[in-house]
Structure 1
Amino acid sequence: MPPCRTPRTLLAIPASLALLGLAPTGLLALAPTGSHTLASGYSTESRAFASPAPTGSNPVDAATDAALALLVAQGKAPAAALLTKDDSGSRFADAGQGISRSDHFRAGSITKTFIATVILQLSAEHRLSLSDTVDAHLPGLLSGAGYGDSLTLRALLTHTSGLYDYTADTLGAVPVTPLQAVRIALAHPPSAAPGQYAYSNTNYVLLGMIVERVTGNSYATEAERRILVPLRLTGTSFPGARTTLPSPHGRGYAADGSDVTELDPRVAGAAGELVTTLTDLDRFYAALLAGELLPPGQLREMLDTRAAHGSYGMGLYPVKLPCGTTVWGHNGRISSSYVRTAATVDGRRVLTFRVNTDGIADPDLEPALLAAEFCPRTE
């Protein structure tokens, strides 16, 4: 299919708007805000989360709360919140004003972990193979675009396809169909050599299209059936074209401070349209890494970073903390929200935090928060 020219309207979007997806590096400046306070609570529970109760002087909790407060005080975010989960229960903490424990929010590129899980489930069912070419499922779509006919699903999952990231043109601000997103990408030469890691939202838009071609259902329908319903993720949804958030929810802000709570999710599609809650993300990543959603072979594939030279698995990426602990998860940025989930490889300890704007001003704040939570501490 011949590529189309990028519409002029896409090229005229102000550069101040946030990019939709996020590789493991690169953060945007935040809007200024005022003074902030910190509150935290603890609850003991098994599979379901209960209402928070007062916490003690656990040094890990205190260090994590202090790091969270810095996201607001130094990062200039209006508000930040986190939910941790381990064998003893869950703990919620918030800094600033504007985020509650039960809020729904946009999760951006965390959507990719859900899409990768569906693809790997289909692989386990022998309905597709990770070695399949894109052309085998979407014949002719990439023809004549310089990618050959050997681009595989594995390359899409690991961001080693070289496909140009369409959101570099749309800036995460223009609603597009999946086909339009792919055509925008194909109007550009490859952004990297085949086999080289280069994060691109286009990869996961294509994977969403492949899910639909293989199953006859949208990626949203398949993810709901395979993930949301079995795990009872009642606060999570794929909103499609719905611009509003479910209740309850707070406000979300762009980097310039403007209110962008209402947003057409088609700016993101399979690369980042998910709406969810802190509780649901902790539950999802805990279940995924514990082996509740994938057979052992497919989970090993998901955690294998060799194709991306250590940078990325399949819908997950690792971060080695200063204490030597490696955590797995993903982040997501979309106008109104920056979200990060990280977990131990067995899923027994999970942290999800979010700020109600596009990113984090100081790139050292996020690893400091992860280290505070996952690295051993004593009084």
Structure 2
Amino acid sequence: MTAVLGTTAVSATAGTAGAHRPEAKVLQRDADALLAQGAPGVLVELDTPRGEVRVRSGHGDVRRRTPVPWEAKFRAGSFTKPFVAVTVLQLVGEGRLSLDDTVERWLPGVVAGNGNDGSKITVRQLLQHTSGLRNYVLEFPHLFAEEGFMRNRFTTMTAREAVAKAVAKPPTFQPGQDWLYSNTGYALAGMIIERVTGRTWQQEVRDRIVKPLGLSGTSLPGTSPHLPAPHARGYERFPEKGIEADPEDPRYGEAVDVTLQNPSWGGAAGEMITTTEDGNKFLRALFSGRVLRPAQFAEMTRTVPAPAFEAAWPGVRYGLGIMWMPNECGGLWSHGGDIMGFMTRNGVTSDGSRSVVVSVNTDSMVPRPGAPAVTGDPVRELVDHALCGTR
């Protein structure tokens, strides 16, 4: 189904929670501004010691012209990664594996050939994106072209298939010699969790994080294409030339409804479904010291430069499944996510006292004609205002 995202007036509604707070007006303005940048709909939830503030703007369903549900569940994409990293780090804290263990120790023969050598890659490097392994997602160009995606969106991809595709080509650099974002590292991390525990990585994430924190809107769907209600529709504009489109001159088709899709291609790198409330609960718990032991938390937040992300987030550094970014109030921790039809952005202060989660029901924002030019991530200003606003 194709749905054109129109330029007519849309709803902009502050939530009943915290609607009187000074932050609500600023967040509403920032959410509304994202519509001009190509967002069909936006849902924002800010969590502070004084309570929560929620705002929304635009449409969750552009055909019916209905708003994004306040309790909307959404595909979180790579926001899955900190959950997987925490699970690995908990296992490290229990003495069941080490960050310095090699991939070969736990998954013999899985990373081999074409210059790829699992005996030289550590668990730390998988989580930190310093393994040099190719990003398997980019080895499946059909994911980035409308015809190919729609034809294959219910196909199951296993982690082993994803890794095999990545190691069929030489690595991008030798382990530990550079930094490049690679979903392959997290596919392998999920496989290592399963080898260490004898249970799926989804089961471990549920029992270690989702259930203890009461994240009732969070799920790991595996191969199910369905998005639990309530939810917004997810829309995608595919570049007309697919993955080979010139990023400086993108030509996109009309928006396509991609709500239904088998997220197994994301796997431990990006299959999670969650809510803005649950995302804030997790981030605040993590940075309040309620999820990891101090030694493992220190490892998670020990960062390296992430030059490939500088254009979107100047000054960004990457830890183990978490990113640090400078801002005017001392910096924030974050890990967003992009998956067909949904964009997640978030941030949390270093002490866990203040966090924000933003869900947009597209990850292919194409600015409307005449929209103000935005440098970097279009949601970054909203996140900064949320975390650096009136306290």
- TM-score (norm: length of structure 1): 0.84
Report whether the alignment pairs 1:313 with 2:338: no
Of 192, 195, 198, the residue aligned with 2:180 is 198
Of 372, 375, 379, the residue aligned with 2:385 is 372
Name the structure 1 match of 2:42.
80
Of 13, 37, 52, the residue aligned with 2:11 is 37
CA distance in 1, matches of 2:88, 2:5: 37
Moved over 4 A (4+): 30-33, 171-174, 307-310
CA distance in 1, matches of 2:87, 2:192: 11
Of 83, 103, 110, the residue aligned with 1:134 is 103
The higher-RCO structure (CA 8 Å, 6+ apart) is: 1
Report whether the alignment pairs 1:328 with 2:337: no
Deviations 1:80-133 (A, max 9, x none): 110010101111100112111211110000000100000000000000000000
Name the structure 2 match of 1:96.
58
> Quick check: 1:67–1:365 contact (8 Å CA) kept in 2?
no
SS in 2 for 1:210: helix
Deviations 1:132-187 (A, max 9, x none): 00000001111223133220000001000010001002244453111110010011
Of 219, 231, 234, the residue aligned with 1:252 is 234
- For structure 2, the residue ranges without an aligned partner over 5 or more in a row are 61-67, 144-148, 238-253, 308-315, 367-373
- For structure 1, the residue ranges without an aligned partner over 5 or more in a row are 1-29, 42-51
1:51-200 alignment to 2 at 5 Å?
Answer: 52-53=16-17, 55-56=19-20, 58=22, 60-72=23-35, 74-98=36-60, 99-148=68-117, 149-171=119-141, 172=143, 173=149, 175-195=156-176, 196-200=178-182
SS in 1 for 2:194: helix
**2:129 counterpart letter in structure 1:** H
Name the structure 2 match of 1:217.
199
CA distance in 2, matches of 1:143, 1:192: 15
1:232-271 alignment to 2 at 5 Å?
Answer: 232-255=214-237, 256-271=254-269
Aligned length: 336
CA distance in 1, matches of 2:10, 2:323: 32
Q: Determine what percentage of the aligned residue pairs are the same residue.
A: 38
> Quick check: 1:192–1:198 contact (8 Å CA) kept in 2?
no
Q: CA deviation at 1:32?
A: 5.4
Q: Structure 2 vs 1, CA of residues 32 and 315 (structure 1 numbering), >3 Å: closer, same or farther?
A: farther
Q: Structure 2 vs 1, CA of residues 169 and 61 (structure 1 numbering), >3 Å: closer, same or farther?
A: same
CA distance in 1, matches of 2:215, 2:21: 31
SS in 1 for 2:268: helix
SS in 2 for 1:80: strand
> Quick check: 1:132–1:153 contact (8 Å CA) kept in 2?
yes
Deviations 1:269-310 (A, max 9, x none): 111000111111110111111111100111111111037686
